[in-house]
Amino acid sequence: MSAYSLFELSVVALIVAACAIRAFGRFAPKTRMRMQSWLALRLDRPGQAAWLRKLGRKLGAAAPDAGCGSGCGTCGTCGPGETKTVQVHARK
């Protein structure tokens, strides 16, 4: 295996991993936020290296993605709007 093949394989693996993480975050936002906050709490502990604590604070400060289906529930616009009455007519 040449050096270029090894480089190419590692670039492809990084791209696939990044896409998998992005898809997981898109389709399971609540789980992603729980995992992100868990990791942030573990990194931002006394006794950790300064760069790890900084990364933990940065991860903990991330806001959830906005939009319907994200699970945020902060704007109140994701619920049903006006209710409309539907009349059903029997066939003659």
Round to whole Å and give the CA distance between 22 and 31: 13
Instruction: Please tell me the number of Cα atoms within 13 Å of 31 on its side-chain side.
Output: 8
pLDDT digits (tens, 9 = 90+) for 30-83: 998 899 899 999 999 999 999 999 999 998 876 555 555 555 555 555 555 667
pLDDT digits (tens, 9 = 90+) for 8-30: 999 999 999 999 999 998 999 99
Higher per-residue confidence, 8 vs 89: 8
Residue 15 is classified by DSSP as: H
- Tell me what pLDDT residue 27 has: 93
Buried b (16+ CB within 10 A) or exposed e, 74-91: eeeeeeeeeeeeeeeeee
Q: Where are the domains of the chain?
A: 3-60
